[in-house]
Structure 1
């Protein structure tokens, strides 16, 4: 279940209460009149079954609560209540299958931002991938996959394309367009320093056959990217968020970027270009599959059209 908190203008409070109480998937409704100071109004709280959340939030937004007050949602990990059990049983569908569209927009909107944290994680991931390449260590390559933050912007691009939120697409694309070249450039500088100081040699890298999969482009590269994109979007739009870790480990976006930087420093342009091709195939495949999955879920269960600007900042 999700905990909903709404700050309502006084003139809309009764309508909000009616909207909440008439939905069978809502319970634990609480009203605190005059409790809200900024913005001023009444505070209404309720617990909502996940599968009912999108419809409930839509009804509150139709009353202008999001514009003149505010609506927040929080995940409830444990709810010991017969009323909560009845609400979840009465709400149509399954909670794990429900898509909370406002939650998806807020999450992808936040994760698509080009900021120091995103760049830091991407740079560290590329450097880890480079270490994995020069030490012939698949384990280090896997570590780089886990650290890489690139699925956030990729998911944002898919969500933006399906919901026609082109501002989200542009922002996420800018994060990738700036992030990957910067991370690869810094990795190339580090690789040059390592090569110059004899920390590793060209022969060491070319003999590292355990990590050749990073740059070897083939049909399975696209297949894995498509499956990862589908799994990632299913994870982001459902309650099964733990599956995202598996998505990170399955694709070789960051390792390909790191390998490309090392190969460029060593003058192995064939491997460099293959690595860049691997990176491109993975990025395109993930976005394509994520867009398809989100599009299918939109046609199946979308309750309303989301055309408002992001409220997450």
Structure 2
């Protein structure tokens, strides 16, 4: 179940209450007249089934509540209520299959912002990947995959394309366009310092039969893995199965490829640098394409292709 709170002018309270009373997926309706201070008005709360949330939010946004007041939605971990159970049973569909589009837009919008935290995580992840490449350590490579924050902007690009929110596409693309070159540059500087200090030399990646060669080896499986990971990641973000995202992070070689680009450039391994860059590009494109395809299919399955969303 989700907790919905609406802040609205007193004159609009009856319309909000009517929407919630009429929907079978809403329960435990609470009306607090005059409780809102700024903007002044009423506060209305309810528990809503996840599969009903998108429809209810669209109806309330249609009343203009998101402009004259505000709407918020948050997850409730534990609900002990027969009425809530009945609301979930009456709401059409399954909770795990429901897409709360406003929540998805908010989540991807937040994770797609270019900020210091995003850059720091991406730089650290690329540095870890470089260490994994130099030491031929798959464990360190996996650690870099998990630390990397790049799936957020990639999901943002996919959501923005499908929902025609090009402001989100621009924001997410900017994060990727600035983040990866900066992370590669910092990692290259670190690799240059390590090489100059004698910590490693060209033999670290020269030759064959390294355990981490998959990072730069480009082939059909690179695209297949990227597509599957992108599909799984978007399914996870649009459903209640968020734990699956960890598996997605470990599947793709975006950050490891970026780390390999930096190390190969410093060691003069230009062919491997080019292959790693191609691996990075294939993974980025494959993830976005698969994530967008999943969103299109889920939107059509839900029958809400033309449902308007409030601008964010």
* TM-score (norm. length: structure 1): 0.98
What is the match of residue 311 of structure 2?
Answer: 309
- Aligned twin of 2:234: 233
2:88 is matched with: 88
Distance in 1, Cα, partners of 2:38 & 2:212:
56
After superposition, the C-alpha distances for 1:208-262 in whole angstroms (9 at most, x for unaligned) are 7110000000000000000000000000001111111100000000000000100
TM-score normalized with structure 2 length: 0.98
1:23 aligns with 23
What's the offset of the Cα at 1:305?
3.0
RMSD: 0.9
Match of 1:259 in 2: 260
Contact conserved, 2:58 with 2:307, CA < 8 A, in 1? no
Partner residue in 2 for 1:274: 275
Identify the residue that residue 139 of structure 1 maps to in structure 2: 139
Q: 1:137 touches 1:210 (CA, 8 Å); kept in 2? A: yes
Q: 1:23-73 CA distances to partner (integer Å, 9 max, x unpaired)?
A: 110001000000000111100000000000000011111111100000000
* Distance of 1:204 and 1:112 partners within structure 2: 35
Match of 1:180 in 2: 180
Paired residues of 1:3 and 1:47 also in contact (CA < 8 A): yes
Q: Aligned to 1:210, what secondary structure does the other structure show?
A: coil
* 3-state secondary structure, aligned to 2:99: coil
List runs of 5+ in structure 2 lacking aligned partners: none
Q: Which whole-Å deviations, capped at 9, do the CAs of 1:127-150 have from their partners, x for residues lacking one?
A: 000000001100000000000000
C-alpha distance in 2, partners of 1:118/1:191? 21
Task: Give the Cα–Cα distance (whole angstroms) in 1 for the partners of residues 220 and 102 of structure 2.
Answer: 36
Q: State the Cα distance separating 1:283 from its structure 2 match.
A: 0.3
Q: Which runs of 5+ in 1 are unaligned?
A: none
Residues 147 and 72 of structure 1, relative CA distance in 2, 3 Å threshold = same
Write the deviation string for residues 251-291 of structure 1: whole angstroms up to 9, x where unpaired. 00000000010000000000000000000000000000000
Report the secondary structure of 1:45's partner residue.
Answer: strand
Q: Secondary structure at the match of 1:92?
A: coil
Contact 1:146–1:249 (8 Å) recurs in 2: yes
